[in-house]
A and B are shown apart, each in its own frame.
Chain A
Amino acid sequence: MLAKRIIPCLDVKDGQTVKGTNFLQLRQAGDPVELGKLYSCQGADELVFLDITASHEGRKTFANMVQKVAAEIDIPFTVGGGISELADVDRMLSAGADKISINSAALRRPQLIDEIVSHFGSQVCVVAIDAKQELPEEGTGEGTWTCYLNGGRIPTERNLFDWAREVNDRGAGEILFTSMNHDGVKEGFACEALSRLASLLTIPVIASGGAGKMEDFRDVFTQGHADAALAASVFHFGQIGIPELKEYLRKEGINVRPPVRL
């Protein structure tokens, strides 16, 4: 049976990993290649490296780091941040990335998804969506989920579910959904929205934003029906160890790849 995946995310700025709380405050958390290797040994199923400031500052590449990661790490990894055209994708894949993740560029020009899929295959194309649930107006029930550009800085007119469906239909391989309401808060993932995405889409959903304790990971799989869960600071600061997390999830009846004992 296909396992649920645990994915540490390494937000990279100037060659160092950082993690923001609600996207704005940044703290140092180590060397991305070393940290990636450590996670791989501990049983992480994939890694994501996001050049978090790339989109904002218009920086294009962190290909040197990607090359090092590809040479040293033996699990799949995705890179994102600042990818806005096919040439960027080609450069990242040539540097050794298994998948690329696009975010703002896809919202600005959705056709980019089709182009990546037809050139490199759908498995290469992860579309990241940062969305925020607006507070509901009084008496109207649920607040709308709005997609944001540039690392959560600029709101768009796009609704999360409409955009996710379009991304799916354009042939993307996976959706990486970050709830801006939950990100950095450490009180659990956006399970309701995730569950809605799971029933709406035919491609895997990676849940991001909100991991604080091991139970949150259980819930994102059982209630959010996510295919993978992504987290950063709980791993970087050692609050949750991947081997213990996997042991816990297996006890809870969730099919995860066990850490390999050597």
Chain B
Amino acid sequence: MKVAVVKYNAGNIFSVVHALERMGVEPILTDSAEELRSADKVIFPGQGEASSAMHYLREHGLDRIIPSLTQPVLGICIGQQLMCRHSEEGDVDCLGIFDVDVKRFQPRRHEDKIPHMGWNSLQVKSEEFTLRSSLLEGTPFVYFVHSYYVPVCEFTIAVTEYIHPFSAAMQKDNFYATQFHPEKSGAVGQQILRNFLEMKSE
């Protein structure tokens, strides 16, 4: 199986690569259209700032390639946010796969710290949650680090509550996304990545 990880100017891409290697998968790290199109699975990870990330994606033509992919694609953290229509971070238009806008958390009480950082629980909304498994029953904890969020919308497949409910995971067609970092979420995260890798391509 060929797994491609989108190479761009985001931090922490190697943690995804390491997580895949621990599962016996040797991913290729690439920004080439050809490599991305021919992969069985594509992972779009990262941590970073939305407008500078979009700038890089446009410069490398990735803003057209990513939305046109037909195999299962998994966006992680800023990957999820970049797959949306627009982000308040740097007021930038994004890839538009999910027709929803990314907002910044606004604290309501002294205890509401930004970024939302740490382990929080998932409520899996969709019966059809493709990333499900026994580890995802109940309300498993996963690791988040983010200051911007995607509101709950028609594409939301798992919800987490911080200040208010937001989209912890999303899906539309072959596009999947998580706001949390499965590669940093211990055994639960590893199971989510494994479920993604085992998904059948349409």
How many residue pairs link A and B with beta carbons under 8 A? The number is: 85
Contact yes or no, B110 A202, CB < 8 A: yes
A45 CB → nearest B CB, Å: 6
Residue among B47, B48, B187 making CB contact with A262, cutoff 8 Å: B187
Contact yes or no, A202 B22, CB < 8 A: no
A204 contacts partner chain B, Cβ-Cβ < 8 Å: yes
| Chain A: CB-nearest residue to B145 | A123
B143 contacts partner chain A, Cβ-Cβ < 8 Å: yes
Contact yes or no, A74 B135, CB < 8 A: no
B55 contacts partner chain A, Cβ-Cβ < 8 Å: no
Chain A contact residues (Cβ within 8 angstroms of B): what range? 20 to 34
Contact (A1, B115) CB under 8 Å given A72-B22, A202-B110, A257-B141: no
- Cα–Cα, bound, A137→B185 (Å): 49
Residues of chain B lying within 8 A (CB to CB) of residue A71? 18, 21-22
Residue among B49, B120, B143, B184 making CB contact with A1, cutoff 8 Å: B120
Residues of chain B lying within 8 A (CB to CB) of residue A227? 113, 118
Residues of chain B lying within 8 A (CB to CB) of residue A204? 113, 117-118
| Chain B: CB-nearest residue to A76 | B184
- Cα–Cα, bound, A72→B15 (Å): 10
- Cα–Cα, bound, A40→B184 (Å): 10
- Cα–Cα, bound, A250→B117 (Å): 20
Interface members, chain A 213-262 (any B CB < 8 Å): 227-228, 257-258, 260, 262
Residues of chain A lying within 8 A (CB to CB) of residue B117? 123, 173-174, 204
Contact yes or no, B183 A74, CB < 8 A: yes
B161 contacts partner chain A, Cβ-Cβ < 8 Å: yes
Interface of chain B: mostly helix, strand, loop or mixed: mixed
Contact yes or no, B11 A3, CB < 8 A: no
Interface members, chain A 176-216 (any B CB < 8 Å): 199, 202-204
- Cα–Cα, bound, A227→B112 (Å): 12
Contact yes or no, A120 B11, CB < 8 A: yes
Contact yes or no, A74 B119, CB < 8 A: no
- Cα–Cα, bound, A40→B116 (Å): 21
- Cα–Cα, bound, A76→B121 (Å): 16
A258 CB → nearest B CB, Å: 8
Contact (A3, B185) CB under 8 Å given A74-B22, A257-B141: no
**What are 18 A-B pairs with beta-carbon distances under 8 A?**
A1-B161, A2-B162, A45-B118, A70-B15, A71-B22, A74-B187, A76-B181, A96-B15, A98-B145, A121-B11, A123-B47, A124-B11, A174-B117, A202-B113, A203-B113, A257-B119, A260-B186, A260-B187
| A contact residues vs B (CB 8 Å cutoff) | 1-3, 5, 40, 43, 45, 70-72, 74-76, 93, 96, 98, 120-124, 173-174, 199, 202-204, 227-228, 257-258, 260, 262
Given contacts A96-B14, A174-B117, A228-B118, 5 further A-B contacts (CB under 8 A): A2-B116, A70-B18, A96-B18, A123-B115, A227-B118
